[in-house]
Amino acid sequence: MAQEDVFKKLVAHCKEYGFVFQSSEIYDGLGAVYDYGQNGVELKNNIKKYWWDSMVLLHENVVGLDSAIFMHPTIWKASGHVDAFSDPLIDNRDSKKRYRADVLIEEQLAKFEDKIEKEVEKAKKRFGETFDEKQFRETNGRVLENQQKWNDLQARFVKALNDSNLDELKQIIIDQEIVCPVSGTRNWTDVRQFNLMFSTDMGAAADGAMKIYLRPETAQGIFVNYLNVQKTGRMKIPFGIAQIGKAFRNEIVARQFIFRMREFEQMEMQFFVRPGSELEWFQKWKQTRMNWHQALGFGSENYRFHEHDKLAHYANAAVDVEYKFPFGFKEVEGIHSRTDFDLSQHQQFSGKKIQYFDPELNESYVPFVVETSIGVDRMFLQIMAASYSEEEILSEDGKKDMRVVLRIPAPLAPIKLAVLPLMKKDGLAEKAREIIDELKFDFNCQYDEKDSIGKRYRRQDAIGTPFCVTVDHITMEDNTVTIRYRDTMLQDRVAISDLKNIISGEVSLKKLFAKL
């Protein structure tokens, strides 16, 4: 199946099974804003817990924070967001559609990469076992030609970005003959900068109201609380502050479902270090974060690092963790060495000294910062994309059937256990309820008595429930049940009294932490 079709199915699945809904749907929706349904909110909470505990529980020098979304407007002046937090936009005059100029060029680069990969795949099939991929990449004419085109375009693109040269970005789009996907024409406007921050007025009187911004990142709430936390927590450098919270960006092009939203949630950790040690810590956090992703078991080949071509105004090193989505390798998380930029700026704009006295060095300095920043929603999409699977199976009566299964890692699954009475009568329903009453304080359980057992299994597979327990007549005699495992579909007969142990071993976050 084409990857685009897989993605369309995934989006439909998210809605059908109560994971993600379009915001304000009955009013025809609101662009790039989404709501999480009954299963989505559970998965989202579990992702947040996996991140939070891995930061705050597993690192004794990382503590949490929950800062307000509204902040003093000067913060955004100091951080550089008022002047520089913008994307280059371009309009197509015929379709009246708006695009990010840099994204159009990135998509063109991806086309060259695709062409190279297709050549390699073709050759792999042709030569089979004897295929020497390295040699092929270094010698094949079509691969080399596309690689050269990629190199030339990339070099020109990076220079234009670094020079903030908007005319050159437009010229690249023209020279590469990039067309609007809607109108198919090259009738482009000039490229202009567009600030991504939402603003609103705080205060009643129109003339006395203060223009404030909805935060575009949670990080600044951490920086302006650096002194509060350091002093009250008696924190010694190196130490980190972690925060989960909403962020808002007026994205020019919001596509690909919850990949790019206007209201989203971030999980950010700012790690304060001694000046000069930041690149060492950057490497350390880079690896720690990659391990966190790969502990989920979706295959290390589906992740890669992407070094930034253009560093943000505050960074001296930056890398993205990318995952292979159905629409290609894309950023899930950013790790940035932010230098002392933010704290120094706040020191200057607030007039308050923001420093750390280092007793070992016997001197004060503005700490340097290494940041890890990941979107909850993007992580959610990554997990859904990686978990979604359509499989051919044999149904109970031996016929070929299909099942859609979400192979969500058990510790993150929305529902851990479904309890299914084979039938409602003969006390089976009551027995099933008893089991739920016993386990509901430990796991998120669901009771389901409607339809055939096969249909009920399918429903649980579709939301990623790792365990289904069936209560039948034998249960009434000996207090045993059948437990069915989502991934293998195998079944065991076990004592009700063993259920808690069997399940807790699989669904505990400790299982993931053990791999970190």
Contact residues for ligand GAP (CB under 6 A)? 217, 219, 249, 251, 260-261, 264, 266, 268, 331-334, 371, 373-375, 377-378
**The amino acid at 230:** Q
Tokens of 7: 């993605």
CA 499 to chain centre: 33
Residue placing its CB nearer to ligand GAP in the complex, 378 or 456: 378
Our separate counts of H helices and E strands in the chain read 18, 23
DSSP class per residue in 253-286? S--TGGGS-SEEEEEEEEEEE-TT-HHHHHHHHH
Residue placing its CB nearer to ligand GAP in the complex, 266 or 460: 266
DSSP class per residue in 45-103? HHHHHHHHIIIIIT-TTEEEE---S---THHHHHTTHHHH-EEEEEEBTTT--EEEHHH
Residue placing its CB nearer to ligand GAP in the complex, 100 or 431: 100
- Strand extents, DSSP E, 143-299: 192-195, 199-202, 210-213, 239-248, 263-273
**The amino acid at 8:** K
Tokens of 64: 């949490």
Instruction: Say how far apart CA 40 and CA 241 lie, in whole Å.
Output: 27
Contact 86, 195 (CB under 8 A): yes
Q: How far is the CB of 362 from ligand GAP (least distance, A)?
A: 33
Q: How far is the CB of 393 from ligand GAP (least distance, A)?
A: 35
Q: How far is the CB of 375 from ligand GAP (least distance, A)?
A: 3
Instruction: Say how far apart CA 50 and CA 56 lie, in whole Å.
Output: 10
Residue placing its CB nearer to ligand GAP in the complex, 13 or 260: 260
- Three-state secondary structure call for residue 374: strand
Q: How far is the CB of 45 from ligand GAP (least distance, A)?
A: 17
Residue placing its CB nearer to ligand GAP in the complex, 105 or 244: 244
Residue placing its CB nearer to ligand GAP in the complex, 372 or 460: 372
Contact 140, 123 (CB under 8 A): yes
Q: How far is the CB of 159 from ligand GAP (least distance, A)?
A: 22
- Strand extents, DSSP E, 376-428: 388-394, 400-406, 417-421
Nearest Cα to Cα of residue 85 among 188, 211, 220, 180: 220
Q: How far is the CB of 108 from ligand GAP (least distance, A)?
A: 22
Instruction: Say how far apart CA 5 and CA 46 lie, in whole Å.
Output: 28
Q: How far is the CB of 320 from ligand GAP (least distance, A)?
A: 7
**The amino acid at 132:** D
Q: How far is the CB of 39 from ligand GAP (least distance, A)?
A: 20
Residue placing its CB nearer to ligand GAP in the complex, 91 or 371: 371
Residue placing its CB nearer to ligand GAP in the complex, 371 or 472: 371
Peptide bond into 73 cis (omega under 30): no
Residue placing its CB nearer to ligand GAP in the complex, 224 or 483: 224
Give me the residue whose beta carbon is nearest to ligand GAP.
375
Q: How far is the CB of 314 from ligand GAP (least distance, A)?
A: 9
Instruction: Say how far apart CA 271 and CA 403 lie, in whole Å.
Output: 44
